[in-house]
């Protein structure tokens, strides 16, 4: 199976670090022109764009807050201005604001739902409007467009102390499936990815040392994931190699969602 995304344009939200950063790199390596969206961290997003261009690819960085409707409209307009089209959306932006439910402020509830769920809706809506206008681009892809929603194992696994995050990802699951049901007749493919514990710069505290050892007990496959584990799946779901995959979530979690605590118990 050879994957090429040549002549396709991909927009990755939240791509200044972590999984989004890795996904943008992998999509560019597969030949797509890439829009690297960031909210606050312009420098790493611009550095990634420069690196992709230096390697012979096409990329630009665009700042936008995905929870803000005007920002999202501008982000997609600037994408069209830069590259003329859009074929792939990776709705990846997400954040955590952790607290026990009794202590969780409404502001932190709203912020997490705003970015993780409403942000994915706003970006998907903007992408769908473009895909509907352009239809299938013959010789480029069998689909009129592909949307990949970045979810989490916590769309399925309840997570004490993270009720805003778990609720947002449960919402992403239904957002993804409902959109898939609604738009697949227009040859638009909508799917999700549910990563488990992935080693990134911002979760060092939970993936290293004693916390990392404790985390490993929850991962039957016995290792913490790397950004590339998820990025490879993004490229696959964005490509025609997955053309018959519609409305599915790919769990990339080393088996975390298999409830390993139940081995020998229950």
Least Å from the CB of residue 196 to ligand BGC: 5
In the annotation, is 165 catalytic? Answer: yes
Q: Sheet of 145-150: strands edge to edge?
A: 59-63, 33-38, 9-12, 88-91, 145-150, 188-195, 249-252
Q: Which is nearer to ligand BGC, 32 or 218 (CB)?
A: 218
Least Å from the CB of residue 246 to ligand BGC: 24
The secondary structure of residue 116, as a DSSP letter, is I
Q: Which is nearer to ligand BGC, 52 or 219 (CB)?
A: 219
Interface residue list for ligand BGC (CB under 6 A): 152-154, 196-197, 203, 206
Give the Cα-Cα-Cα angle 105, 99, 199 (nearest 5 degrees).
130
| Measured distance between the N- and C-terminal CA atoms of the chain, rounded to whole angstroms | 42
Least Å from the CB of residue 251 to ligand BGC: 11
**Exposed e or buried b for every residue in 78-90, given b needs 16+ CB within 10 A?**
bbeeebebbbbbb
The secondary structure of residue 197, as a DSSP letter, is S
C-beta nearest to ligand BGC: residue = 152
Q: Which residues pair with 191 in a beta bridge?
A: 148
Q: Which is nearer to ligand BGC, 141 or 164 (CB)?
A: 164
Q: Which is nearer to ligand BGC, 78 or 203 (CB)?
A: 203
Least Å from the CB of residue 264 to ligand BGC: 22
Distance CA 37, CA 64 (A): 7
Among candidate residues 165, 221, 244, 259, the one labeled active-site is 165
Catalytic positions, written as ranges: 165
């Amino acid at each position: 199976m050879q994957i090429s995304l040549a002549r396709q344009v991909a927009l990755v939200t939240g791509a200044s670090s972590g999984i989004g950063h890795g996904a943008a790199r992998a999509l560019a390596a597969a030949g797509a022109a890439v829009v690297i969206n960031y909210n606050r961290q312009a420098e790493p997003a611009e550095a990634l764009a420069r690196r992709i261009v230096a390697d012979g690819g096409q990329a630009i960085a665009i700042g936008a807050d995905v929870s803000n409707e005007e920002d999202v409209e501008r982000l997609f307009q600037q994408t069209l201005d830069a590259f003329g089209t859009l074929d792939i959306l990776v709705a990846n932006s997400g954040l955590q604001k952790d607290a026990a439910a009794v202590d969780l402020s409404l502001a932190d509830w709203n912020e997490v739902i705003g970015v993780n769920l409403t942000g994915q809706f706003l970006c998907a809506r903007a992408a769908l409007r473009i895909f509907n206008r352009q239809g299938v681009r013959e010789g480029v892809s069998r689909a009129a467009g592909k949307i990949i929603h970045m979810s989490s194992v916590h769309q399925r696994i309840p997570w004490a102390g993270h009720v805003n995050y778990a609720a947002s990802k449960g919402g992403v699951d239904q957002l993804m499936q409902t959109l898939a049901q609604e738009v697949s007749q227009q040859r638009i493919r909508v799917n999700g990815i549910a990563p488990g514990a992935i080693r990134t710069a911002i979760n060092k505290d939970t993936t290293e040392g004693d916390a990392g050892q404790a985390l490993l007990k929850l991962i039957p496959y016995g290792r913490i994931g790397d950004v590339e584990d998820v990025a490879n799946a993004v490229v696959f779901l964005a490509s025609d190699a997955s053309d018959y995959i519609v409305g599915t979530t790919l769990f990339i979690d080393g088996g975390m969602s298999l409830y390993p605590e139940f081995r020998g118990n229950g």
